Structure 1
Amino acid sequence: MSDLKFGTSGLRGLVTELRDDVCRAYTLAFLKHLQSRHDVPADGLLLVGHDLRASSPRIAAACISAAKAFGMRVENCGALPTPALAFRAMSLQVPAIMVTGSHIPDDRNGLKFYRPDGEIDKADEAGILAFLDLEKPVVSASGEAGLSKEALSRYVARCASLLPAGALSGRRIGVYQHSSVARDIIVDILAKAGAEAIGVGRSDVFVPVDTEALRPENVAFAEKACRELELDALVSTDGDADRPLIADENGNFLRGDMVGLLTARFLGADAVVTPVTSNTSIEHCGFFDKVYRTRVGSPYVIEGMNRAGSDGCRTIIGFEANGGVLLGTSVAVGGHRLDALPTRDAMLPILSVLGMAAREGLSLSGLVARLPARFTASGRLEHVPADKSAVFLKSLENAETMRGFFADAGLVKDSDRIDGTRVILSGGELIHYRASGNAPELRCYTEAASRERAAELLAWGLERAGRALNDKEFSR
């Protein structure tokens, strides 16, 4: 059980740790927690879905068998995007379990839990763990349940309503299909909007595509596909289709936070909620009345969206640096009403960015070129225990220590501790340290007016933190 833990995207761990009895135990703990804290009836409806990794159907069956033994009715939604399952669950006001490891390798997997009103929060995680008992009797109920396509069809209809017919006419859009659970519906939805959608790179084995840490082969693939197929864009998602991947006509990938910014602009947001790791173009662009910064993780973005709603904001868009967009309020687009969906979604930003470029007669590179020029870089120091990171970050709370630490990089103009320590230097450059939420790592993020300077600051930041962590005061 050592590798099973809640992170920013649900319960994750090795497939060997996610045995049937373990998955059943977590399912029962989740349902007992819902019954005790959220008034979910023991004989109510539970939705279960999964991604395309090899272990997912088996894990989904274990969850279904536990739910049936508990007395729940189960709608088996099969393979579908996480936001499709969430949309169906929130529409019916019932709980759901998505079996997915998102972008992590095939030897790992996870469970993502949804209350009837959306994603669970940190208090729910604690509640589930409080009910967890791995010494339960063997569950005798079958893990079989008739397959329902209702969740997937409703999600496709939702996505198709975002752009009018013909909105993408004349655009050649490549779809990097790999093992994304949305690989077929992306092609269909883009075609309905008038694009010439071309599927490429389909895989029969699971491919871990991390939208925040693209491999060199991902970059080379995009450049080659865009050049040889003369594409206007190449789009894709991670494994469970809650994070988008968008490359322009040259095969250059758009940063996730820029995708979120453009999506919020397209949807007419007056308030944006995003973690501190997203770059400051969001403030500099002047498009939004309010920008709320949060800690890293969708539960914190959702908290921020709730705060924006309490502040009277009308159209609230949340997004993370990975590009996943959360729709905090209903919006009217193209004569259609798009209901709120406060969970990460890949199709909403893909369609918004492509639709915005087409509407304004621009290439994707031209669309991005109109945004403030801010460049970011990120890296990490591995094998740094959480307690050691905590001592290091705590030391930077002292103003004098902070000024001395960053003296070689520049004069500290401002700082915050929303998630770790983030400083803004006198020239507007930014250096941010935070401890990883799911690994023994200290992460460093930088931002500057040029790509070269951001990389230079990152190299300095990692070297400087490494020296500090090796000092006697940090070696305890």
Structure 2
Amino acid sequence: MKVFGSSGTRGVVGEEFTPEFVSRVASAAAATWEADRVALGRDTRTSGRTFADAAAAGVTAAGVDVERLGVVPTPSLVRHCEVESVPGVMITASHNPPEFNGVKLVGDDGIELPVNRLEAIEERLLAEEPTTVAWDRIGDSRRVDDANDDYVAELLASVDREAVAAADLTVALDPGHGAAALTSPEFFRELGCEVVTVNAQPDGHFPGREPEPVREHLDDLGRLVRAADADVGVAHDGDGDRAIFFDETGSYVEGDASLAALAARDLGEGDTTVAAVNVSQRLVDVCEAAGANLELTPIGSTNIITRIKELWREGESVPVAGEGNGGVFFPDYRLVRDGAFIAAKFLELLAEREATVSEVVAPYEDYTNVRENVGYGSDAELDAMLAAAEEYAASADAEPDTKDGYRLDYGDAWVLVRPSGTEPKVRVYAESADADRAEALVREAVEVLVEAKRGVEA
């Protein structure tokens, strides 16, 4: 696909991402769906209203009514789509920096569109097929004000509220100025938790931190956990579909470790879980211990969703899936990454074990993950870096997995080099039980990429 990447389509506002482009995407989607109405939501980005207006124009121009939900987390929009049996358009760039925005598309089953459905919309878009209707068939627009309230109510009904309340937990929460600032504080308080917050005011400038919930952006949350003597810290991304945790000492918990802990709770013999090619050995270990199967896909929620749906059609049980970035699926609840639900399942785990966060993740702390990005400013730089990555992989003392980029598994460690599906970066990941080994693998690969890029600049 050229337009839709690993999780919708995104770009820098005013450059490749314009109101005209968003209107065309929304119009092509509406015409392809052949629906009579479409739900429309957005996150807190400063450009969100502009692009929501553009999307609404595109949908109504295709003769389809629009239900405008306002600022909602992606899982809130997804819930509305499933319950109302309407497709949806979400204006969000998720974890990308503030200058980005994007579009996610959701089917009337409440599931982000799989690859084949996105390709059909993309084909219509790129062919520039007419999608507008005559003046007397233009769609209407109406506001929906209770989507977030209904979403929180369903969350509360879907988790073990009594067990979490009985555990008497203090939760330090960082919604990162994103859409979950409108829902997660209320949700955790209604669960019976004491809640303290940082960066909890919706603000598309993201003044407190960048939207991506990675270690280097979350110092304030670690300090809040320590200052409030909290039991757990929870951080979301811009559209609230991810959850990253801090332990009771204010220390960052690797997303791969929390994914492994949650998977170990739910996976049984004969089950299948789905993860991406940057899967941690932690999850591999969990699957081996449980007698469960592990399926790998290219990175991104779109690819994981597509594979889960295929496995369902084959009669497979997939109780948990996801990536180590905090994006965990519990498909029996809903096939969506839902940061609040992920965090609630983690709180259930703490309550069941009567354990601290550090105790729960301790079995999965034996590995070190290192990640570094190399940005590029032109297609020529990207092409040069990917050519260098291919040569680097071919000359390595390991068989490359080319499902998504180049993954080299050395037995004691692995390294992955791949272009981002959402940003102009080539990402390098490595993992090993030996921290120095992981650092060395990343450093070696990054040097190869930087040298290739330097050759283009020269």
TM range (shorter): 0.7 to 0.9
The answer as to 2:414 corresponding to 1:430 is yes
- How big is the shift at 1:131? 2.9
Q: How many residues align?
A: 440
In 2, the alpha carbon distance for the partners of 1:13 and 1:470 equals: 22
Same amino acid, percent of matched pairs = 23
What's the RMSD between the two structures over aligned residues?
Answer: 3.1
Does structure 2 retain, via aligned residues, the 8 Å contact 1:62–1:143? no
1:323 is aligned to 2:320:
no
For residues 264 and 402 of structure 2, the distance between their equivalents in structure 1, rounded to whole angstroms, comes to: 28
Deviation at 1:204, TM superposition (A): 5.3
The equivalences for 1:266-345 within 5 A come to 266-268=265-267, 270-285=271-286, 286-287=289-290, 289-328=292-331, 330=332, 338=333, 341-345=334-338
User: Could you tell me how far 1:9 is from its partner in structure 2?
Assistant: 1.9
Counterpart for residue 93 of structure 1: 85
Look up the match of 1:362: 355
CA pair 202-154 structure 1, distance change in 2 beyond 3 A: closer
Pairing 1:226-305 to 2, within 5 Å after superposition = 226-268=225-267, 270-285=271-286, 286-287=289-290, 289-305=292-308
Change in Cα spacing, 1:393 to 1:378, as seen in structure 2 (3 Å) is: same
Task: Assess if the C-alpha contact under 8 Å between 2:384 and 2:453 holds in 1.
Answer: no
Greater helix share, structure number? 2
Query: How many angstroms apart in 1 are the aligned matches of 2:425 and 2:96?
Result: 17
Paired residue for 1:450?
434
Structure 2 spans left out of the alignment, 5+ residues: none
CA distance in 2, matches of 1:437, 1:249: 34
Superposed, 1:70-85 pairs within 5 Å as 70-85=62-77
| Range 342-351 or range 148-157, more displaced | 148-157
Shift of 1:437: 2.9
2:179 and 2:238 in contact (8 A); partners too: yes
Measured after TM superposition, the shift of residue 275 of structure 1 is: 0.5
The separation in 2 between residues aligned to 1:278 and 1:190, in whole angstroms, is 29
2:402 to 388, 411, 417: 417
Q: What is the CA-CA distance between 1:175 and the residue it aligns to?
A: 1.4
Partner of 1:24: 23
Aligned position for 1:164: 161
SS of 1:32's equivalent in the other structure is helix
Post-superposition offset of 1:51: 1.0
Work out whether residues 64 and 143 of structure 1, in 8 Å CA contact, stay in contact via their aligned partners in 2.
no
Cα distance, 1:464 vs structure 2: 4.8
**1:398-446 Cα deviation digits (max 9, x unpaired):** 5xx332xxxxxxxx4x5522222222224x2112222333455433211
Matches within 5 A, 1:99-138: 99-117=91-109, 118-132=111-125, 133=128
Whether contact under 8 Å (2:389, 2:449) holds in the other structure is no
Task: Quickly say closer, same or farther: Cα 1:20–1:219, change in 2 above 3 A.
Answer: closer
Q: Deviations over 1:5-35 (max 9, x none)?
A: 532221212332554443322211111222x
The one of 388, 394, 408 aligned to 2:384: 388
**CA distance in 2: counterparts of 1:171 and 1:451, whole angstroms:** 33
Q: Structure 2: how far apart are the matches of 1:318 and 1:104?
A: 22
Partner of 1:334: none
TM-score normalised by L of structure 1: 0.82
CA contact (8 A) 1:273 1:316 kept: no
Tell me the secondary structure at the aligned position of residue 402 of structure 1.
coil
Distance 2:38 2:454 in 1: 52
Supply the distance in 2 between the matched residues of 1:174 and 1:374 (Cα, whole angstroms). Answer: 26
Answer yes or no: is 1:48 the counterpart of 2:58: no
Q: What's the offset of the Cα at 1:368?
A: 0.7
User: Are 2:63 and 2:139, in contact at CA under 8 Å, matched by a contact in 1?
Assistant: no
Does 1:176 find its partner at 2:174? yes
The alpha-carbon deviation at position 375 of structure 1 amounts to: 1.4
Tell me if structure 2 keeps the 8 A contact 1:244–1:350.
yes
SS of equivalent to 1:444: strand
Q: 2:366 aligns with which of 373, 386, 405?
A: 373
CA distance in 1, matches of 2:367, 2:329: 23
Following TM superposition, by how much is the alpha carbon of 1:471 offset from its aligned partner in structure 2, in angstroms? 11
Read off the aligned partner of 1:74 and give its amino acid letter.
Answer: V
Give me the whole-angstrom Cα distance separating, in 1, the residues matched to 2:27 and 2:161.
Answer: 44
Contact 2:213 2:236 in 1 (8 A): no
Secondary structure of the equivalent of 1:343? strand
